[in-house]
């Protein structure tokens, strides 16, 4: 091998190593920054803002309304007014009422 060829390979290898060290250093700095941010977040827990709490309260109210609707008995087929459109199979799959249904009176 000639001296020029060996010198070129050494220079090339040194440049590659320098680039690798620079990339690793850059990644290390980013990881340290992320670690610092995580440590800060752990040290001071953030409380949710009022808008988030209001939204959760609204969702809770909606869930409660849905639960109440699901607990209500469905009308029996005899109580559905004539001409009222009910999806096919809706009354078949409805839970049976737990109490005696109150018959609707027709308006005179």
Residue 90 in any domain: the answer is: no
Residue 52 in any domain: the answer is: yes
Report the domain count for the chain.
1
Range of the domain at 20: 3-64
Q: Write down the pLDDT at residue 31.
A: 94
Residue 16 in any domain: the answer is: yes
How many helices (H) and strands (E) the chain has is answered by 2, 0
Q: How far apart are CA 84 and CA 33, in angstroms?
A: 65
Residue 102 in any domain: the answer is: no
Distances (CA, A) of 81 to 98, 105, 107, 108: 21, 10, 12, 15
Residue 59 in any domain: the answer is: yes
- Cβ 75 vs Cβ 96: under 8 Å: no
Q: Write down the pLDDT at residue 78.
A: 65
Q: How far apart are CA 75 and CA 91, in angstroms?
A: 8
Q: How far apart are CA 38 and CA 36, in angstroms?
A: 5
Q: Write down the pLDDT at residue 43.
A: 85
Q: Write down the pLDDT at residue 108.
A: 46
- Over the chain (108 residues), the average pLDDT of each successive run of 10 is 74 88 93 92 78 83 85 68 65 56 53
Q: Write down the pLDDT at residue 71.
A: 81
């Amino acid at each position: 091998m000639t001296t020029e060829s060996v010198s070129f390979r050494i220079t090339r290898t040194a440049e590659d190593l320098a680039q690798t060290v620079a990339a690793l250093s850059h990644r290390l700095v980013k990881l340290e920054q992320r670690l610092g941010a995580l440590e800060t977040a752990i040290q001071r827990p953030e409380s949710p803002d009022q808008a988030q709490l209001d939204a959760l309260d609204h969702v809770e109210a909606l869930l409660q309304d849905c639960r109440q609707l699901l607990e209500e008995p469905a009308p029996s087929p005899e109580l559905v007014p004539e001409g009222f459109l009910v999806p096919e199979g809706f009354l078949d799959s409805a839970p049976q009422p737990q109490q005696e249904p109150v018959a609707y009176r027709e308006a005179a």
